Amino acid sequence: MKEELVAAWAQVLGVSIPEERLTEVMQSLEGQITGLGGLPAEELEEVEPAVLFEPEWLE
């Protein structure tokens, strides 16, 4: 990963990251992405993520 890429990505998303912070954010982002967010995709086939939408109206 490159700082320029992180800077461009942040700009597209409207996230303001000062230049002096780019290295830290890049390293952190790289660490998270390298960790794959948990288990590898092959072990997660057909698993529904733990994100629940409750359609009932509670009036």
Partner 1 sequence: MRNELWALSMVDAAALIAAREIKPSEYTAAALARFDAVEPLIRAFVSVDAERVTHEAKLQDDKRGGVLHGIPVAIKDIFDVTGTPTGCGSEAMASSRPAVQDATAVARLRAAGAIVFGKTTTHELACGVYTPPTRNPWDLERSPGGSSGGSGAAVAAGVVPGAIGSDTGGSIRIPASHCGLVGFKPTYGRISRNGALALSWSLDHVGTLTRTVEDAALMLSVLAGPDSNDQTTLARTYLPQPLLPANDHVRGLRIGVLDDPPFAPMEADVKQGLTTTLKRLQREGVEILEVKLPELKACLTAEFVIVAAEAGSYHESRMKRAADLVGADVRGLLETGLLLPASLYLRAQKTRRVIQLALMKLFADERLDALIAPTVPAKAQRWDQLDYEFADGTEPVIQALVRTTAPFNLAGLPAIAVPAGIGASGFPVSVQVAARPFDEQTALRIALAIQRATGRIQGPNVFATARDN
- Cα four-point dihedral sign 54, 39, 27, 24: positive
Kindly state the smallest distance separating residue 46's Cβ from partner 1, in Å: 10
Check binding of 29 to partner 1 (CB under 8 A): yes
Residues 6 or more apart whose Cβ sits within 8 Å of residue 7: 17, 19, 22
Kindly state the smallest distance separating residue 4's Cβ from partner 1, in Å: 14
Q: Distance (Å, rounded) from C-alpha 23 to C-alpha 7? A: 10
Residues that bind partner 1 (CB under 8 A): 6, 9-10, 13-17, 21, 24-25, 28-29, 32-33, 35-39, 41, 43-44, 47-51, 54, 58
